[in-house]
Structure 1
Amino acid sequence: MNKLDKKSNLLEQDPYRYKLQDVEEPNLHREIYSYTEVPKISFNHRHVPIGMPEDIWITDTTFRDGQQSRVPYTVEQIVDLYKMMHRLGGPNGIIRQTEFFIYSDKDREAVRRCMELGYDFPEITSWIRATKEDFKLVKDMGIKETGILVSCSDYHIFKKLGKTRKEAMDGYLSVVKDALEVGVLPRCHLEDITRADYYGFVVPFVNELMSLSKEANIPIKIRACDTMGYGISLPGVAMPRSVSGIIYGLQHYSDVPSELLEWHGHNDFYKAVINATTAWLYGCCAVNCSLLGIGERTGNVPLEAMVFEYASLRGSFDGMDPTVITEIAEYYEKEIGYNIPLMTPFVGKNFNLTRAGIHADGLLKDEEIYNVFDTKTLLNRSVVVSVSNTSGLAGIAYWINSYYNLPPEKAIKKNDPLVIYIKEWVDKEYSCCRTTSISDEELEYLIEEYKSDLVEKK
């Protein structure tokens, strides 16, 4: 039977309806995941069409997955970060939701404090154990949506839960029905989807979820969880590792609308950001992130990265305020005591810093030559240089002009006597086996010692 597809406006054959394959032995995809070898990337050369939704957005798991790999945040820290996340997401709610634990009194206090702020965005959702008591707690707290863990790979079904696929599916469906009974919108977290039997379990299970959704007239969200970071964004990659294939299949074989699809990735193989972007491109409205990418093992998709991915794809921040990213980074370091790796894009101290003299020479001529974008405008971070044995005269001159905020008409040139004086001192330091960069305090002292009237003290 053919039907007209509303997105492509082409006649398409009705897809085959996959049935549960209740196998006796787990399918562990040993040809891909041999465990004693690096996971293999295999290709079947099947391509699916790009189908980016009209609207895309970001969801957050900072206060859930982001708390599973570090000391839990205090209530005050959660409230402060939630406020900044609200400002970052802007009036259009591009950061659409954030999820919380509600196990403890402290968890629930943080939820209440954030709810009292009255923000529409990010909407507060929860992540709970799959019990009727917890569903009632969600309802009583006024939370409309909750995440439910529904592990979908045979690694989890057979090895962790000790069940068959049918037993697991029946149990999951029962839990989802419990949520629907109390009027809570379920968000089903398909854990370990990139190691699952996609057509033998995932698609049939999601088909049942969509049937339940229609019966109850309540949306059921599907979160595709790349729990181990195995997802691959390359075209033509075979299942179950193909990100585009996973998203396309959930739409094409299970009729999941884009607005109910969410991608949750991890960074074990450095692919978290590109996989999240790929999920957007192929029909997933939401990508799930955490601030600074903090999460299990190598972490989640960094929220700040997807803010810039969004702007790159859409051509606009659509009301988001990226300068808040710098405030968040400073809060993590000063208030929380978290050390952000120096080279982390957008938030690390070395993000827009250069030590090379040849680069500094270019920055003196035109900042755009070596800066990725106007970091002062977009992130409220001026480009900086660090003075070392490779900085040269240009690097020192640039440091002076930047550190003292000298206007162009008063800017120091690299052949200025002050610059030459400092350069001679720097060379002498490194000739005596110094290996560290020159500190700002040392450079300030040298300038005071030189008694230059060209530079006003800060």
Structure 2
Amino acid sequence: MKIYRDYDDLPKIKLPLGQEVSISDSTIRDGAQMPGIVVRSHHKVKIYEYLHRIGIEKLETFVYNERDRKAIKLMQDLGYEFPEITGWARANPADIDMVLNVDGIEETGILMSVSDPHIFDKMGLKSREAAEKKYLDALQYAVDHGLRTRAHIEDMTRADNYNFVFPLVKQIMDIDPDCTIRICDTIGFGVPFEGVDEPYGLPAIIKHLRNELNVKNIETHCHDDFGLAVPNSIAGYWYGANWSNVTFLGIGERAGNAELEKILLFLMRRIEGFDKYNLECLVEFAQFMEKEIGIRIPRNKSVVGKNVFAHESGIHTAGVIKNPFTYEPYPPEIVGGKRTFLVGDSSGIEVLRYKVQEALNELMNVHIEVDKNDKRLREIQADIQKLYNEDKRVSCISDEEILAYVKKYFMFNPMVSKDMHRQDEDDNPQEAPTGKFSRDPHLHGVD
């Protein structure tokens, strides 16, 4: 019989194809296009430092203006081997020249819009053939000038793949056999389900690229308009992609991109054989993004939200206090988080006891254990529930308020039970107790 009582007891999933997989980050390129924020040069450098601490393999950036190039120079001056800084260009020689003019960049992405709305309406081209020529000429120019390439196949999940995109990819591979083919699920129409074909099925697209066109490097770039960016990215790995392109916190245009932190956590905690990334700075990274760039992080956001390791309800807190594995899917320190217990309207006696003990420990500077049937503990619980019952409270009870309750009920009330037959101090001052906690049957002090 299998017993699962600890994190290490749980089995991990194996990628069926066993390929090595990597991550490229677009936080300072695609992510920086998020409406309402400005990512300045020093922000980009700090983001680069966090990505280095994590162990991300590649980062892509614009090279169009002075602040882009300033940030690149500052990043390069740090001397890090990774993430490799790569460029991004539209499919024309002028853009590629801009990449070539930045010392130290050896790889660029090239945008290749393939859906009919993009070809005809956005770009104003006369035909698919015109688009094909434009893209292949740009790719050839980059290769001729010594750049490694990524073909960003934009809006592939709304395109005519069999009649246009796959033949285009075959010609791309003829020019550059090592080109990374980036499947861009530009407005989130892709789905991760096997058996779904044209044009939405990510598994079908990936398998065709891998098995029929012999593409060596396949990358997903998924947007979250339908909430499927992370599932689609993971499905990419499952069916043979070896790269995913993501942004931290999923920032980007509209609903954003696949979230770096979620992909990292899934790989490290759920997939067999992953130990190359360090996730301990993820919470710190998120705090930086919130404070310095103004990205509002929901309290319940996976991995980095403030509530991820916060416990309030009675059943949950009782379980976590006894064994965190009961309700926490991974230890807080994995991502640099911290476990907290909150007292609110759904809290039971166990979490209140924990918080009261915590407050007593702070006051007395010794380890104090409180019996859950202690009358004073029940009085505090009654006071708190009265607040919620009478609709006088709409938030949790703060640590400062718990401390005040502890002072009121434990420090100022008599501490010796009646059944101890304590004499009044006025009757016999010589026998008055000097250690308040030592004679209370409900409290146990441990030095």
TM-score normalized by the length of structure 1: 0.80
Output the CA distance in 2 between the equivalents of 1:143 and 1:455.
65
User: Equivalent residue of 1:86, what SS?
Assistant: helix
Partner of 1:380: 336
Partner of 1:45: none
Output the CA distance in 2 between the equivalents of 1:448 and 1:304.
42
Partner of 1:430: 388
Whether the 8 Å CA contact 1:404–1:455 is kept in 2: the answer is no
Match of 2:163 among 192, 200, 204: 200
Is 1:62 aligned to 2:27, yes or no? yes
Whether the 8 Å CA contact 1:135–1:182 is kept in 2: the answer is no
Is 1:147 aligned to 2:113, yes or no? no
Partner of 1:174: 137
Deviations 1:187-241 (A, max 9, x none): 1110111111110111000011011115xxxx32211000111111122122211
User: Equivalent residue of 2:61, what SS?
Assistant: strand
> Shift of residue 400 of structure 1?
4.5
Output the CA distance in 2 between the equivalents of 1:316 and 1:422.
49
What residue identity is the alignment partner of 1:310? L
Partner of 2:44: 78
Partner of 2:147: 184
Match of 2:120 among 158, 168, 175: 158
What residue identity is the alignment partner of 1:425? D
Listed as ranges, the matches of 1:94-243 within 5 Å are 95-141=56-102, 142-163=104-125, 164-213=127-176, 219-243=178-202
Output the CA distance in 2 between the equivalents of 1:437 and 1:413.
23
Output the CA distance in 2 between the equivalents of 1:455 and 1:155.
73
Output the CA distance in 1 between the equivalents of 2:282 and 2:233.
19
Q: CA RMSD in A?
A: 2.5
Mark the CA change 1:413 to 1:288 in structure 2 (over 3 Å): closer, same or farther: farther
Whether the 8 Å CA contact 1:386–1:395 is kept in 2: the answer is yes
Whether the 8 Å CA contact 2:282–2:304 is kept in 1: the answer is yes
Output the CA distance in 2 between the equivalents of 1:133 and 1:455.
76
What residue identity is the alignment partner of 2:276? G
Mark the CA change 1:81 to 1:397 in structure 2 (over 3 Å): closer, same or farther: farther
What residue identity is the alignment partner of 1:221? T
> Shift of residue 342 of structure 1?
1.0
> Shift of residue 395 of structure 1?
2.5
User: Equivalent residue of 1:300, what SS?
Assistant: coil
> Shift of residue 172 of structure 1?
0.9
What residue identity is the alignment partner of 2:49? K
Partner of 1:267: 224
Output the CA distance in 2 between the equivalents of 1:320 and 1:401.
37
Output the CA distance in 1 between the equivalents of 2:360 and 2:166.
61
Deviations 1:35-61 (A, max 9, x none): xxxxxxxxxxxxxxx853521011100
Is 1:362 aligned to 2:319, yes or no? yes
Deviations 1:129-171 (A, max 9, x none): 3332332221221211111110111121123223311111011
Range 142-151 or range 388-397, more displaced: 388-397
User: Equivalent residue of 1:63, what SS?
Assistant: coil
Range 220-229 or range 381-390, more displaced: 381-390
The count of residues paired between Structure 1 and Structure 2 equals 395
Output the CA distance in 2 between the equivalents of 1:404 and 1:213.
68
> Shift of residue 450 of structure 1?
4.1
Partner of 1:18: none
User: Equivalent residue of 1:323, what SS?
Assistant: coil
Output the CA distance in 1 between the equivalents of 2:131 and 2:444.
71
Q: Percent identity over the alignment?
A: 36
What residue identity is the alignment partner of 1:54? Q
Match of 1:339 among 296, 300, 305: 296
Partner of 1:288: 245
Identify which of structures 1 and 2 has the higher relative contact order when contacts are C-alpha pairs closer than 8 Å and 6+ apart.
1
Mark the CA change 1:412 to 1:73 in structure 2 (over 3 Å): closer, same or farther: farther
Mark the CA change 1:393 to 1:265 in structure 2 (over 3 Å): closer, same or farther: same
User: Equivalent residue of 2:99, what SS?
Assistant: helix
Mark the CA change 1:382 to 1:212 in structure 2 (over 3 Å): closer, same or farther: same
Deviations 1:433-454 (A, max 9, x none): 1222223333333334445478
TM-score normalized by the length of structure 2: 0.82
> Shift of residue 123 of structure 1?
0.5
User: Equivalent residue of 1:111, what SS?
Assistant: helix
> Shift of residue 69 of structure 1?
0.9
What residue identity is the alignment partner of 2:300? M
What residue identity is the alignment partner of 1:247? I
What residue identity is the alignment partner of 1:230? F
Whether the 8 Å CA contact 1:58–1:286 is kept in 2: the answer is yes
Partner of 2:430: none
User: Equivalent residue of 1:119, what SS?
Assistant: coil
User: Equivalent residue of 1:101, what SS?
Assistant: coil
Whether the 8 Å CA contact 2:301–2:308 is kept in 1: the answer is yes
> Shift of residue 343 of structure 1?
0.9
Deviations 1:410-434 (A, max 9, x none): 4545334553243122112113312
Deviations 1:308-365 (A, max 9, x none): 1212454354232111111112212333332201111110111122221121122232
Mark the CA change 1:291 to 1:435 in structure 2 (over 3 Å): closer, same or farther: same
Partner of 1:52: 17
Whether the 8 Å CA contact 1:126–1:147 is kept in 2: the answer is yes
Deviations 1:74-106 (A, max 9, x none): 2222111211111111xxxxx210111111111
